[in-house]
Amino acid sequence: MAEIRVHEKIFEVYPTFRRGIVVAKQMQNAGPSEELEAMLEQVVAEAAEKPIDLKTDPRIVTWSEAHRQFGSNPNKYAPAHCALLKRVQKAGAQIPFINKTVAIMNFNSVKDKIPVGGDDLMRAGGTLELCYADGNENFTPLGKPDMVEHPDPGEVIYVVSESKEVMCRRWNWRNGHKTRITEKTEIIVMNTDGLGEGSEARALATRDRVAQMLWEFCQAKVITTLLSPSQPSYSFHM
């Protein structure tokens, strides 16, 4: 069994927060996909053609305010979807095709201006929790397998409760190396995070498109749910 949960204090401080969940099993993540790569290129081109104001758009401002609330500077440690949008809103920008699942994450994050992230469940396992850090957890940054950091006390982290291995620092700023999604990944948990006005509808819309794309491009068996104040956790068989 595995469990995903959001600590009750997160919902107390951020009552509009909703986390759409997609569990994808028996994935076929290896190999290219010309169609998916073309879709990613198209959505990046559209972002450059019709840029949003990253200083005033509520889909960005809401997250910047949330980060400041737990003591993180969003200008220095930008939420991942904000950094991604800043990158692609430049003429000629490109996002490399790493693998099908990562492409699906990037496509949906750019298209919906929403945080989308995922982890290899076989590398994580146990209980995956969004909570406040005590500072003793361990984090190995993506692409730096020999480095170990510790989150700041009070920082919002996504962590494997049993091992104290941090999968993502500063809520949605930087992913960890150990639970990264590779071509060999067969089972994942992917999150679509909504915050602010209309958060639930936006999280669900992105979640459902992600699930459809994982089924279509990775032949995955998918399960979806939503974490909210009334359902802060979800358990399932791996």
Position 185 scores a pLDDT of 98
Question: Which structural domain range is residue 96 located in?
Answer: 2-236
SS3 per-residue string spanning the chain: CEEEEECHHHHHHCCCCEEEEEEEECCCCCCCCHHHHHHHHHHHHHHHHCCCCCCCCHHHHHHHHHHHHCCCCCCCCCCHHHHHHHHHCCCCCCCCCCCHHHHHHHHHHHHHCCCEEEEEHHHHCCEEEEEECCCCCEECECCCCCCCECCCCCCEEEEECCCCEEEEECCCCEEECCCCCCCCCCCEEEEEEECCCCHHHHHHHHHHHHHHHHHHHHCCEEEEEEEECCECEEEECC
CATH label of the domain that carries residue 62: 3.50.40.10
What is the per-residue pLDDT for 152?
Answer: 98
Q: In the prediction, which pLDDT does 91 show?
A: 84
Task: Please give the tally of structural domains in the chain.
Answer: 1
Say what the pLDDT of residue 130 is. 98
The residues, any chain, with a CB within 8 Å of residue 146's CB and separated by 6 or more, are: none
Which residues in the chain land under pLDDT 70?
A: none
pLDDT attached to residue 52: 97
